[in-house]
Amino acid sequence: MSARPIDFYFEFASPYGYLASVRIGRLAANYGREVAWHPIMLGAAFKLTGAKPLLHIPLKGPYVIHDITRMARLWQVPFTMPPLDTLPINSLAASRATVWLDQHDPTGAIALAKAIYHAHWGEGRHLGTVEAVADVAADQGIDRQLLSEAVADPLIKVALKYRTEEAIKRGVFGSPFIFVDDEPFWGADRLEQVDLWLQHGGW
């Protein structure tokens, strides 16, 4: 019996989600684990917690921009801050595209998620529109027309909504949010604890 995949919940608009996305695959592979990638719409959780988008909060926003930039440098992860007045992006198109692709090409969906994250936070591009997502997807060999139709498909809309609701039921309120079996870890800064947990099976 093989071990369960590690559940990786993320919001495309979340820079810490991006940072974690660059490392989670190798981290899991070191322990023979797969990663299940779950894009979610964090706004739904924010309605419950009262949280606001991070980057525009007085005092906290400027610190977080400094912190992400510094962490990306430390981890040697490409990082370009997108123009602040375009953030947070509406990640509906990016998330729906990933959910759609996952239904018939799970490996391709992970590659697409990584490419979207890289374009947005690695290169600082605006990824809040269907066109921008289709541009990134086209580079992955995904048909623009099919993707545009999928993003507007009521069944895909419902699938993303359902996945987000299931995540919240499980306790997810931020991005990244990781479960090792049923143990929850919130934040890119918990990856080291995720590593220790996988290594020792808890403590």
CA dist., res. 155 & res. 146, Å (int):
14
Considering only residues 67 through 96, tell me which ones interact with its own copies, judged by CB under 8 A.
67, 70-71, 73-74
- DSSP per-residue codes, 100-126: HHHHH-HHHHHHHHHHHHIIIIIS---
Cβ 112 to its own copies shortest distance, Å: 28
Q: Does 52 bind its own copies (CB under 8 A)?
A: yes
Q: Does 203 bind its own copies (CB under 8 A)?
A: yes
Q: Which two tokens stand for residue 184?
A: 């929850």
Residue 121 is classified by DSSP as I
Residue 189 is classified by DSSP as G
| Exposure letters 9-19 (e unless 16+ CB within 10 A, then b) | bbbbbbbbbbb
Q: Does 165 bind its own copies (CB under 8 A)?
A: no
Q: Sign of the CA dihedral 74, 109, 84, 48? A: negative
> Which among 20-28, 87-95, 145-153, 170-178 is the span making contact with its own copies, rule CB under 8 A?
170-178
State the number of CA atoms in the 13 A half-sphere of 140 facing the CB.
Answer: 24
Considering only residues 175 through 194, tell me which ones interact with its own copies, judged by CB under 8 A.
184, 186-187, 189-190, 192-193
CA dist., res. 97 & res. 120, Å (int):
15
Residue 123 is classified by DSSP as S
CA dist., res. 9 & res. 37, Å (int):
6
First to last CA, the chain: 23
Q: Does 56 bind its own copies (CB under 8 A)?
A: no
> Which among 21-29, 48-56, 78-86, 122-130 is the span making contact with its own copies, rule CB under 8 A?
48-56
Q: Which is nearer to its own copies, 62 or 78 (CB)?
A: 62
Q: Which is nearer to its own copies, 134 or 188 (CB)?
A: 188
Q: Which of residues 57, 84, 155, 158 is near its own copies by CB under 8 A?
A: 57
Q: Which of residues 2, 32, 58, 107 is near its own copies by CB under 8 A?
A: 58
Q: Does 62 bind its own copies (CB under 8 A)?
A: yes
Cβ 73 to its own copies shortest distance, Å: 6
- Contact residues for its own copies, defined by CB under 8 A: 45, 48-52, 57-60, 62-63, 66-67, 70-71, 73-74, 168, 171-174, 184, 186-187, 189-190, 192-193, 196, 203
